[in-house]
Structure 1
Amino acid sequence: MENQPKLNSSKEVIAFLAERFPHCFSAEGEARPLKIGIFQDLVERVQGEMNLSKTQLRSALRLYTSSWRYLYGIKAGATRVDLDGNACGELDEQHVEHARKQLEEAKARVQAQREQQQAKKREAGEETAPRRSRKPAPRKPAAEGEQPRKARPKAPRPAQERAAPVEREPRPQPVTDTSALQVGQSIRVKAGKSAMDATILEISKDGVRVQLVSGLAMIVRAEHLQF
């Protein structure tokens, strides 16, 4: 067992569970409602496999059941399943209503973040329409014997009328100490060369759990976060 690879993220744990229990978990598409108390079943069935701890299993389950695709599957008439895909009763109405509210709140947060980003772009002048270039009017030909007029030199624009330089936004700073973070704080998550806006949901020793504007929740390390 000591030579088994270790799963470092909740996404990797979910992928492992989908392969280990394909009739219960899924890595993509709509997810089936899980049996109540399935966490304890998982602890008993995968004890020692892939060096998984209870903390990792709990974090992965929390991420799985808070995802949009899982909340879409919590609907009237749907049946809960155990690890082997066996039916474990239909969903209660209160669970269906709770999932519906969670989904609506998640969508509202995403929409609010999009509107906030659009407002920032408008303030920065990124959405202003390009100015149309004016073509100079054609000059009339000089009459016979008339000397052509010399173009008058343009007076320099006063310094006050010159456009002020656009202030650039400060570059994002990497997070070096998680003690400075707070739940509910807006943060940016590095993904390759780009970064995504997110909100902090939980801070633990395993990392920081955030929710992206897409509604996806994940646990990331401090070095992948930016102010």
Structure 2
Amino acid sequence: MTEVQTEVQKLTNNKEIIAYLAEKFPLCFSLEGEAKPLKIGLFQDLAEALADDEKVSKTQLRQALRQYTSNWRYLHGCKVGAQRVDLAGNPCGALEQEHADHAAKQLAEAKAKVAEKRAAEKAANPNANKKRPARPAAENKTEGKKKAFAGKQQRKPKADFVAVDMESLAKGSKVKVKVGDKAKNAVVLENTKDSARVELDNGLVITVSADRLFA
């Protein structure tokens, strides 16, 4: 029976390696918040601790550690008196003024580079953050009228028309007379088979055909 060997997947991305270190040494490395200053010579301890670990090499560890200690989170944590830690999170001496000043200088330079890069990008594309030009007042006014008119049309309720039984109509019956999409109230004065003579609310007396009369 042939033995199947599982090949270990090596980590080559600095971000992945730092995440791996934070998993193996959580009291030393962190991925969020202010990072703790590391013990001087920590790389040697790290290389020895991971000597048999096939996931990372010394070269990869050195690159990842360099990126970790140049991160803004780490530089923010490098203040005078802050305790350095080893792989187990044990204190290994307070950070001295010289090292704190060096970290502050690195942080200032890193921020300056970012600001310079943003300024260069803005200069190369000056229209990127410009607002759209305002429409002329007359155009805005016309557009506003169109929207208001459309809104009125949408809000206008349509009358519900129910057919009226002409044979049941009698003098004094109240009906509706269809005028376009609207209905006007009226009172029957006289009824025939195909039409009726009615008086509208405004006093106007008209004769309308049966197809325009509704209950």
TM-score, normalised by the number of residues in structure 1: 0.55
Structure 1 residue 76 displacement after superposition: 1.4
> CA offsets per residue over residues 163-212 of structure 1, 9 Å max, x none?
xxxxxxxxxxxxxxxxxxxxxxxxxxxxxxxxxxxxxxxxxxxxxxxxxx
Structure 1 residue 115 displacement after superposition: 1.8
Write the distance in 1 (CA, Å) between the matches of 2:99 and 2:128.
46
Distance 1:112 1:84, change over 3 A: same
Corresponding residue SS for 1:94: helix
Corresponding residue SS for 1:88: strand
1:132 aligned onto 2:155? no
Structure 1 residue 34 displacement after superposition: 0.3
Write the distance in 2 (CA, Å) between the matches of 1:7 and 1:128.
45
* RMSD over aligned Cα atoms: 2.0
CA contact (8 A) 1:79 1:91 kept: yes
Match of 1:72 among 72, 76, 88: 76
Structure 1 residue 127 displacement after superposition: 1.8
1:49 aligned onto 2:53? yes
Distance 1:5 1:119, change over 3 A: same
Write the distance in 2 (CA, Å) between the matches of 1:85 and 1:21.
8
Write the distance in 1 (CA, Å) between the matches of 2:22 and 2:122.
38
CA contact (8 A) 2:18 2:68 kept: yes
CA contact (8 A) 1:121 1:127 kept: no
Distance 1:126 1:19, change over 3 A: closer
CA contact (8 A) 2:12 2:56 kept: no
Structure 1 residue 134 displacement after superposition: 5.4
Write the distance in 1 (CA, Å) between the matches of 2:65 and 2:48.
15
Question: More displaced, 125-134 or 53-62?
Answer: 125-134
Structure 1 residue 131 displacement after superposition: 4.5
Distance 1:93 1:135, change over 3 A: same
Match of 1:117 among 121, 130, 143: 121
Write the distance in 2 (CA, Å) between the matches of 1:9 and 1:26.
17
Q: Which of these two proteins has the greater Rg computed from alpha carbons?
A: 2
Distance 1:125 1:100, change over 3 A: closer
Structure 1 residue 113 displacement after superposition: 1.5
> CA offsets per residue over residues 138-186 of structure 1, 9 Å max, x none?
xxxxxxxxxxxxxxxxxxxxxxxxxxxxxxxxxxxxxxxxxxxxxxxxx
Structure 1 residue 135 displacement after superposition: 2.9
Task: Give unmatched runs, 5+ long, in structure 2.
Answer: 140-215
Corresponding residue SS for 2:67: helix
Task: Please name the residue that 2:11 is paired with.
Answer: 7
Structure 1 residue 19 displacement after superposition: 0.7
Corresponding residue SS for 2:9: coil
Matched residues, percent identical? 53
Which segments of structure 1 move beyond 3 Å, counting only runs of 4 or more?
none
Write the distance in 1 (CA, Å) between the matches of 2:108 and 2:14.
24
